[in-house]
Each structure stands twice: as structure tokens, then as C-alpha cells.
Amino acid sequence: MEKSNSTQIVLMKGITCRFGDVVANDNVKFDLVKGEIHALLGENGAGKSTLMSILYGLYQPEGGEILVKGKQVVLRSPQDAIALGIAMVHQHFLLTLPHTVIENIIVGLKPKKAIFLDIKSAERKILELSKKYGLKVNPKAIVGNLSVGEQQRVEIIKALYRDIDILILDEPTSMLTPQEEKSLFETLQSMVDQGLSIIFITHKLQEVMAVSTRVTVLRNGKALGTYKTSETNETRLAQIMIGRTLVPHREKPSRAYKSLKPVLEIKDVSALNNSKVLFLKNLSLEIAGGEILGIAGVDGNGQSELAEIISGLRKVLQGRVIIDGREVTNQSPHSIRESGLAYIPEDRMETGLVLEYSVSENLVLDRYYSEPYSGKVFLKHSQIRKFAEKIISDFDIRGVPGINAPVRSMSGGNLQKIVLGRELSRSPKVIVAHNPTRGLDIGAAEYVHNQLLRQRENGAGILLISLDLDEILEISDRIAVIYEGSIMGVFKQEEANIDQIGLLMGGKKDRLDSTEVDGSANK
């Protein structure tokens, strides 16, 4: 679909980029027409971020050429990209929290007043841009105190400040409530009206349909086609993106049983976050054996803190945590685990595993101190090895580099299997799973879900904390929404309604009609 159009402002041809053995982009073709919103769609690892990072000068491709506004260019660094009018807003904001909005925006610029910071004119320009595009910010505010939505506005202004006409947004809605999302889309539209062209990286089909003019689908590093959004639909796109038809709804095996007594009770718990601010506020939850309770919510509303107070990694100021009838409030992680808790942490590489250890060492991290894995002083390596072999086979862990080699080189999916193997082989009564499928491809994610469902059949109570609403809707028996450290509401799966959940995620407790959405998070 060659569009030799004079309004084509970016053309990337034959882009190939490798990281070691992995081909992140394989002969990719991509173009951007002036004034459009072009969505780049694909799953995790499809190569979307890599392609745009190349356009932004962060990576150099091994093959292919890039034309910007008709001229062939070589982008060696973000500076080159900015000079050509291209800027990128990353999924994980690149902001310096202790600095002000102004400081975050003007760093790296070459201003007229060469040596000293020109705060005054920067402030003026920021307010101008803010007005022009409808992005409310306070230039003097400390970024660390802003909400996620406000921080994103800072990121966008940071890009606009550099007189760009091409804006790349990488998964911009991953941290927003549905209402903030809507506000963002309106902003995008107004930016396009002002002459900007936008590339929008996402893996969410509804967004593509809602906001884009055209969409390019990537899968496994290859570009599978560019389509006019008006001429396609979600199902078609999903098929191209995944390579098979989406399973619309998972059939859960009917519950083996549901215990009468809860296996996990959280009663009226309050706790501080890392900045010593009261973050969990009188939070109460209950999970019965044999059920999955999904916690939905926008990142940063207390999910990590919740997981940590249950597992003992964070102190509770008031309230109680009870596992299977036993009081475990503020006990050590060790004794809480002994009470029957398994915890699949959000960050498997930083927390869940010791990357320089072997598979067997990682598998016995939580039980090395007792029989049969050790005696009074010494470890029993043969026993440990036997156990490891069993788990590797039970959990189908692949890519094991060698019995004593570090697990560092293994894939994300297999690393997660090690964590699962360790945690789930304890026959736990309660499982806390925090973003258990983050960064995994569809096959690995399915495996994790199956494992959790199997534990559910065995009578375990599972707390599934996830940023992926689809995941929660699929496998939870009940769904709770967390917002600013409290539970806003709990629904049975059958009764769950996305709009309602979205509103609760954004903090609105009462039902509103759709005309009254103001977009910004209440502060």
C-alpha cells in the first residue's frame, strides 16, 4: 500500500533490528500521514516500542531507511529526532520527581541565555502551550506531587515544548482511568486540529477503534498490514494481531467447593506507603477457599501495598490480617508463609527470583532451611536436585541452561514458571498473585491462568491483583475495585459491568450518566 503522498511525513522502509538472537523488527514498513492519528497495534513484544524507539533515535536499525518529510535521515540520538520535529512520550514516564514541572521540561534545551536557567520565559511558554492544547498544568509544581494524569500532561507538554509536529505516544492509557482516557483522546484530537500528527502505540483494540485514523498491526517483529480504521473492526484486528481468533470468554470449570470460612480476611487495615503517607485506608476484604477475588484498579492505588501487608513485607498501622483463622497481622514474612501463604510478586526478576542462582536454588529459596532439603547445618544437595527435577517436569519449565547455571538467560514465561513452581508446590491456602502475567505472551499467560484455576479447584483462595481488566474479568469469581487505598465496591463476576468498574477505578462512587465525565482525577 504505497502512498506516495505529499502529505506523508514519515516513511520507514525495510526496518530490521536485532537484539542478540531476537529479531525485534523484521523488514518493517511504516508510514505516517500529516494530520492523522496512526495506531501501532500489537501484543507485548511485537516490536512496536522498538520501531518507535528507532524513529526517536534511541536505537539504530541494522537495515532499512527512514524518510522524514521527504528527506532521508539518520537518527543517531533523540536529539536528532527532536531536531526533525519528532518527540516521544514513554509508557513509563521519564520524569524527575523532586524537580519542578519547568525543570523537567526545559532540561537539555539550548536556550538563548546560555548559562543561567531562564525560568520566567519557560513558565510563559508552558502556560501558552497549556492553554493552546487544553492541558492543565502548574509549572511551579513539584512533579512528584502530581497525579498520574497530570504527570502525563507534563510529559506531553515536554514534547510539545520542543516545537514538534510528530508526537509518538507509547501505551499512553496504561496508567489512566477510563475517564482520564477520554480526556486524553479529546486532547489528541485537538492537537491534530492544531496540525500535529500522532503515532499511538497500544495493545488495546478499543482504543484503536476509538481514536485512530489508520492502524498498523505488528506481530513477532513483522508488520502485517496497515488499514484504515473505518474499514476494519476489533475482531479482524485481533485476529491479525494474535494470529488466531480471540477466545471470547473462558469457561471456568465449575467450582469444586467453596469453603464456608474465609481463608483470607483483611479487616479494616490502614498502612503507610513508601513516602510515609497513609495509603491504605480502612481496607477490608475476604476471600473464601476455592474462589478467585480479582482486584481491579489503576496502577498506584494501593495494590502493591495491599500485597505487601498480606505477605508481611509492610507493617500495618491498624487492622488485622487473618489467614485461615490464624492471626498473622504484622508477623514476619517467614511465619506468614508458614501459615499457608504463597505470593507471586509483581516483579519476578527483582523480587521473585535470584537471577544469578540456578533453577534449583531458586526453587528452594523458601524451604532450604528444613528437611529434607537440609540437615542441621548443611544443605542436602541431592535432595534439592531431586525436588528441582520434579518441579521442572510438573510445571513444564523449559530452557533450563544447566543444573547449576544462573536462570538469568531464561525467558520471561519460564522464569514465571519457576516462581509458580516454587509458590504453588507448597499447597498454599492463600495465593496472592500480583500482575502474574505481565510481560508474558499469550501462551505463557494462559498457562498461569490454568495453574491458578487448578489451585482454585484445590480449595485455595486467590487474590488476583492485576492491571489487566480483561484478565480479571476472565477468571475471577468476584471482582473488587481499589481506589486510593480503599475498596470501592465488590461485584460477582456475572454482575460485573465495565463502565461501572471504570467509574469506580476513577473514584466515582455514584452512578453518573455519560455526559458528566470531566476526565481529571479528583485531587
Partner 1 sequence: MIEEALIIGVVASGIRMSIPILFAALGECIAERSGVLNLGVEGMMIIGAFAGFMGTYLTGNIAIGLLMAMGGAAVLASLMAFLSVTIRTNQLAAGLAIWLLGVGLAALLYRLSFGVVTIAPSIQSFDPIEIPFLSQIPIAGPILFNHDPMIYLGLLLIPVTHIFLFRTNLGLKIRTVGENPKQADTLGVNVYRIRYLAIIIGGAFAGLGGAYLSLVITGSFSENITGGQGWIALAVVIFGRWRPIWIVIGALIFGMVNAFQLGLQATGTTIPFQFLLMLPYLLPIAILAATYKRSVAPAALAIPYTRGER
Partner 2 sequence: MTSLPIQGISIRKINFRPMVPFLSGGLAFLVGGIILSAAGVDPIYAYQIMIKGAFGSVRALADTLVKTTSLLILGLAVSVAFKCKIWNIGAEGQLYFGALGGLLAGLSFIGAIPILAPVVVIIAGFAFGSLFSMVPAVLKVKLGVNEVIVTVLLNFVALLFISYLLHGPLKAPGFLSYSPDIHPESELPILLPNTRLSIGILIAGASAIGVYLLMSKTKIGFEMRSVGANIKAARYVGMNVSKSILVTMGISGGLAGIGGAILVAGEQHRLIEGISPGYGFIAVIVALLGKQNPVGVTIVAFFFSALLAGSEFMYRTLGVPVALAQTLQALVLVFVLIGELFLRWEPKRRKI
**Least CB distance to partner 2 at residue 365 (A):** 5
Quick one: which of 290, 297, 319, 345 contacts partner 2 (CB under 8 A)? 345
CB 25 within 8 A of CB 61: yes
The count of residues interacting with partner 1 (CB under 8 A) is: 27
Name the one range near partner 1 by CB under 8 A: 112-120, 200-208, 282-290, 350-358. 112-120
Q: Calculate helix-pair angle for 148-160, 119-133, nearest 10 degrees.
A: 110
Q: Which residue has the cell 508526537?
A: 167
Q: Which is nearer to partner 2, 191 or 264 (CB)?
A: 264
- CB-nearer residue toward partner 2: 195 or 402: 402
Among 220, 374, 425, 500, binds partner 2 (CB under 8 A): 374
Q: Which helix (H) or strand (E) holds 33?
A: strand 22-33
Residue 115 makes contact with partner 1 by CB under 8 A? yes
Question: What's the start-to-end Cα distance of the chain, in Å?
Answer: 47
Q: Which of 14, 300, 412, 489 contacts partner 2 by CB under 8 A?
A: 412
Distance between CA atoms of residues 236 and 241, nearest Å: 9
Q: Which does 374 bind (CB under 5 to 8 A by kind): partner 2, partner 1, none?
A: partner 2
Q: Which stretch binds partner 2 (CB under 8 A): 18-26, 181-189, 228-236, 253-261?
A: 18-26
Among 234, 441, 446, 474, binds partner 2 (CB under 8 A): 441
Q: If binding is defined by CB under 8 A, does position 95 make contact with partner 1?
A: yes
Question: Exposed, middle or buried: residue 193 (CB in 10 Å: 0-12, 13-18, 19+)?
Answer: exposed
Nearer to partner 2, 58 or 379 (CB): 379
Neighbours of 77 (CB within 10 A): 12
Select the binding partner of residue 97 from partner 1, partner 2, none (C-beta < 5 to 8 A, by kind): partner 1
95 binds, among partner 1, partner 2, none (CB under 5 to 8 A by kind): partner 1
Strand ranges for 233-348 from DSSP E: 262-272, 278-288, 292-296, 318-323, 326-327, 341-344
Q: Mind spelling out the 3-state secondary structure of 412-451?
A: HHHHHHHHHHHHHCCCCCEEEEECCCCCCCHHHHHHHHHH
CB atoms within 10 A of CB 352: 21
Amino acid present at 430: V
Q: Give the span between the Cα atoms of 289 and 284, in whole angstroms.
A: 17
Q: Which residues bind partner 2 (CB under 8 A)?
A: 19-22, 44-45, 311-313, 332-337, 343, 345, 349-357, 361, 365-366, 368-369, 374, 377-379, 381, 401, 405, 408-413, 439-441
Which residue ranges make up the site for partner 1 (CB under 8 A)? 56, 58-59, 77-79, 82, 88, 90, 94-99, 103-104, 106-109, 111, 114-117, 158
